[in-house]
């Protein structure tokens, strides 16, 4: 049984849903040749990333000696500046899976748009109802 289920719970705890990112420093990326595309597969082959992680975060510890093309989920500001100074490029990866609720929101927006189109007919009925109310209020 996982440790998180064995420990007593007190208060709010969201540790089971925390995303863990693999941290890679710029000094670790110097082992790759200039112009190499550094992505998760290459980092796993070189044993810089191990285990099950939600993504890769590049930190600015050390200096980058040559230009690399880096694909990562998160990049610190100092790492971004050092990579661009060395002549490299950074590509942010797309999230792997969208939450199903976001797809439902698109359907809700489509329903709202179709409802807005059908509302063009409804104001005429409201105007007639408003005139009827005015006549009864004068009596």
Q: Domain spans of the chain?
A: 3-92, 101-138
What is the pTM for the complete model shown?
Answer: 0.60
* pLDDT of amino acid 87: 95
Rounded Cα distance between 37 and 86, Å, is 15
In total, the chain counts a number of residues equal to 139
DSSP 37: E
- In degrees, rounded to 5, the angle at the alpha carbon of residue 91 between the alpha carbons of residues 87 and 96 is 160
Rounded-to-integer distance, Cα 85 and Cα 30, Å: 14
Tell me the per-residue pLDDT of 40-99, one tens digit each, with 9 for 90 and over. Answer: 999 999 999 999 999 999 999 999 999 999 999 999 999 999 999 999 999 999 876 545
User: In this predicted model, what pLDDT tens digit does every residue of 16-39 receive, in sequence order?
Assistant: 889 999 999 999 999 999 999 999
Structure-block tokens of residue 112? 């709202």
At the topology level, CATH places domain 3-92 in Ribosomal Protein L15; Chain: K; domain 2 (3.100.10)
């Amino acid at each position: 049984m996982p440790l998180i289920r064995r420990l007593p719970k007190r208060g709010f705890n969201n540790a089971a849903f925390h995303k863990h990112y693999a941290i890679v420093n710029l000094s670790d990326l110097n082992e790759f040749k200039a112009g190499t595309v550094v992505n998760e597969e290459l980092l796993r082959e070189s044993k810089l990333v191990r285990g099950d992680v939600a993504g890769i975060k590049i930190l600015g510890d050390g200096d980058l000696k040559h230009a690399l093309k880096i694909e990562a989920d998160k990049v610190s500001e100092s790492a971004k500046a050092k990579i661009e100074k060395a002549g490299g490029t950074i590509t942010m990866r797309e999230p792997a899976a969208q939450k199903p609720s976001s797809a439902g929101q698109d359907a809700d927006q489509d329903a709202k748009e179709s409802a807005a189109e059908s509302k063009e007919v409804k104001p005429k009925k409201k105007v007639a109802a408003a005139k009827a109310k005015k006549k009864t209020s004068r009596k």
